[in-house]
């Protein structure tokens, strides 16, 4: 081989290795020399807020670029699990079920990365949710606050129901029930009155809690088939059997069916959280308001779920990830999520921005917050928790359809949940 040919080949090989190294190290490859990080989320509507926040971060940190990836919620958990196992997950990602990743060393220890004082600015319930074995495993991004009831003023007026009546609604297996009579009155004016059915956060957890039941005990064992749990689900199933709610044939397969029915003016009451507030305000073509959660035998009980952003322990750029986590957990970085009233920032000092936005729109959001002054029910967790929820879903779906009696369905669902945890 001629010497000149060897030189050309050597230069080409060196160039190829350099390009490969740049890609391997996560560089942009456009000559900028920036480190490129990936941030995975599941909600397209919050992408503009994150882009605005990250643009400010990148102006102060020109050596880092953060690229957003949206994976739809329907496939998010499964794909994330596969990608984490395969070593292809993004450097940062949203999470609400983190225990399996934390227990297997897949996540960055937030306290070690940002310092123990970082958590002082975040919502206490969010910090508690993402703390396991004394360590914090995600930077809280936003909280849902509690559950409340959206109502259609026009349908209430047509049924001669005063919105003030909703403030004292009570559900009970006994004779002091006031919710069912109001729903029957609303049935004279609306195709459907209430969204009792398959909705884990907005229906099932509040009914379990207000019945005096729990989803799990202190050891993460499922206990929702207690007598109080049976009473809660039996009440929901009876509302469905009385045709006061949309058909479970629709709600079992389409989690947005009840929300869409409300927005179309076909559902009088929608029990839900702040995560639907912006959409209701934008799309409802009728007068509406927000009322407190119905009270149960154990009072008004809600959960307060939070979404956090976790750092991938396998990242090749731990320092850049640490800087992004610090920014997203700061007031300056987190406040963008309150713009447009989209979500409630997890940084406590920025939460008033959310309240002020909706107050300026004439919307009283206090029912979402007032309910949290009382007892709360945990939304669950522990190793294998997502798999347990998947195992429970088809059994409860059959129960809502009236094909399995409530006590039997809950017993079978608990057994399936425990088996899924053991398997995973």
CATH number 3.30.70.20 given to 35-145+305-373: no
- Written in H, E and C, the secondary structure of the chain is CCHHHHHHHHHHHHHHHHHHHHHHCCECCCCCCCEEEEEEECCHHHHHHHHHHHHHHHHHCCCEEEEEEECCHHHHHHHHHHHHHHCCCCCEEEECCCHHHHHCCCECCHHHHHCHHHHHHECHHHHHHCEECCEECCEEEEECCCCEEEEEHHHHHHCCCCHHHHHHCECCCCCCCCHHHHHHHHCCCCCECCCCCCCHHHHHHHHHHHCCCCCECCCCCECCCCHHHHHHHHHHHHHHHCCCCCCHHHHCCCCCHHHHHHHCCCECEEEECHHHHHHHHHHCCCCEEEECCCEECCECCECCCEEEEEEECCCCCHHHHHHHHHHHCCHHHHHHHHHHHCCEECEHHHHHHHHHHHHHCCCCCHHHHHHHHCCECCCCCCCCHHHHHHHHHHHHHHHHCCCCCHHHHHHHHHHHHHHHHHHC
Task: Look at residue 31 in the predicted model and tell me its pLDDT.
Answer: 54
Domains 35-145+305-373 and 148-301+384-423 in one fold:
yes
Mean pLDDT across the stretch 66-93?
95
How many other C-beta atoms lie within 10 A of the C-beta of residue 297? 17
Residue 406 has pLDDT above 60, yes or no: yes
Task: Please give the pLDDT value at position 261.
Answer: 98
The Cα–Cα gap between 272 and 148 comes to 6
In this predicted model, what pLDDT tens digit does every residue of 284-332 receive, in sequence order? 999 999 999 999 999 999 998 999 999 999 999 999 999 999 999 999 9
197-229 tens-digit pLDDT: 999 999 999 999 999 999 999 889 999 999 999
Q: What average pLDDT score do residues 97-108 get?
A: 94
CATH architecture of 148-301+384-423: 3-Layer(aba) Sandwich (3.40)
- pLDDT greater than 90 at residue 339: no
pTM for the predicted model, two decimal places: 0.84
pLDDT class for 1, splitting at 50, 70, 90? very low
Q: In this predicted model, what pLDDT tens digit does every residue of 258-293 receive, in sequence order? A: 999 999 999 999 999 999 999 999 999 999 999 999
Q: Which residues contact 362 (CB under 8 A, 6 or more apart)?
A: none
pLDDT computed for residue 258 by the predictor: 97
Does residue 3 register a pLDDT over 70?
A: no
- pLDDT for residue 32: 64
pLDDT at position 74 is 84
Distance CA 29, CA 110 (A): 30
Q: Decide if pLDDT at 62 tops 60.
A: yes
Q: How confident is the model at residue 424 (pLDDT cuts 50, 70, 90)?
A: confident
Mean pLDDT of 162-189: 96
Which strands sit side by side in the sheet containing 35-41, from one edge to the other? 64-70, 35-41, 92-95, 306-311, 139-143, 344-345
Which residues lie across from 132 on neighbouring strands? 135
The average pLDDT across 147-167 equals 98
CA distances from 273 to 25, 44, 175, 206 (A): 41, 18, 29, 11
CA–CA separation, 342 and 113 (whole Å): 29
Neighbours of 322 (CB within 10 A): 17
Domain ranges of the chain: 35-145+305-373, 148-301+384-423
- The predicted structure's pLDDT at residue 210: 98
Q: Using CA atoms, how far apart are residues 364 and 366, in angstroms rounded to an integer?
A: 6
């Amino acid at each position: 081989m001629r010497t000149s040919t060897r030189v050309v080949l050597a230069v080409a090989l060196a160039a190829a290795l350099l390009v490969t190294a740049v890609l391997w190290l996560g560089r942009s490859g456009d000559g900028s020399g920036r480190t490129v990080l990936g941030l995975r989320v599941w909600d397209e509507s919050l992408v503009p807020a994150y882009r605005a926040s990250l643009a400010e971060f990148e102006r102060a940190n020109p050596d880092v670029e953060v690229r957003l990836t949206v994976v739809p919620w329907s496939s998010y958990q499964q794909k994330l699990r596969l990608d984490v196992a395969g070593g292809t997950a993004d450097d940062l990602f949203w999470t609400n079920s983190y225990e399996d990743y934390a227990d297997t060393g897949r996540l960055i220890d937030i306290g070690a990365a940002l310092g123990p004082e970082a958590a002082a600015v975040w919502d206490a319930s969010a910090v508690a949710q993402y703390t396991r074995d004394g360590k914090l495993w995600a930077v809280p991004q936003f909280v849902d606050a509690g559950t409340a009831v959206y109502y259609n003023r026009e349908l209430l007026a047509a049924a001669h129901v005063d919105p003030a009546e909703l403030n004292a609604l009570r559900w009970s297996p006994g004779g002091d029930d006031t919710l069912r009579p109001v729903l029957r009155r609303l049935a004279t004016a609306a195709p459907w009155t209430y969204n009792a059915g398959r909705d884990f956060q907005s229906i099932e957890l509040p009914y379990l809690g207000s019945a005096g039941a729990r989803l799990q005990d202190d050891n993460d064992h499922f206990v929702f088939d207690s007598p109080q749990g049976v009473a809660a689900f039996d009440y929901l199933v009876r509302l469905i059997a009385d045709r006061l709610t949309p058909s479970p044939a629709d709600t079992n397969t389409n989690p947005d069916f009840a929300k869409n029915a409300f927005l179309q003016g076909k559902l009088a009451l929608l029990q839900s959280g702040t995560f639907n507030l912006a959409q209701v305000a934008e799309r409802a073509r009728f007068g509406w308001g927000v009322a407190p959660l119905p009270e149960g035998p154990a009072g008004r009980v809600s959960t307060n779920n939070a979404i956090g952003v976790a750092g991938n322990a396998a990242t090749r750029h731990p320092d850049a990830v640490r800087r992004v986590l610090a920014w997203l957990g700061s007031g300056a970085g987190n406040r963008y999520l309150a713009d447009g009233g989209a979500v409630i920032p997890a940084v406590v000092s920025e939460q008033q921005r959310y309240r002020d936005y909706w107050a300026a729109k004439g919307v009283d959001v206090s029912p979402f917050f007032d309910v949290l002054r009382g007892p709360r029910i945990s939304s669950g967790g522990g190793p294998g928790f997502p798999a347990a929820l998947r195992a429970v879903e088809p059994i409860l779906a059959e129960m809502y359809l009236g094909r399995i009696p409530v006590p039997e369905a809950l017993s079978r669902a608990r057994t399936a949940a425990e088996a899924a945890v053991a398997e995973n």
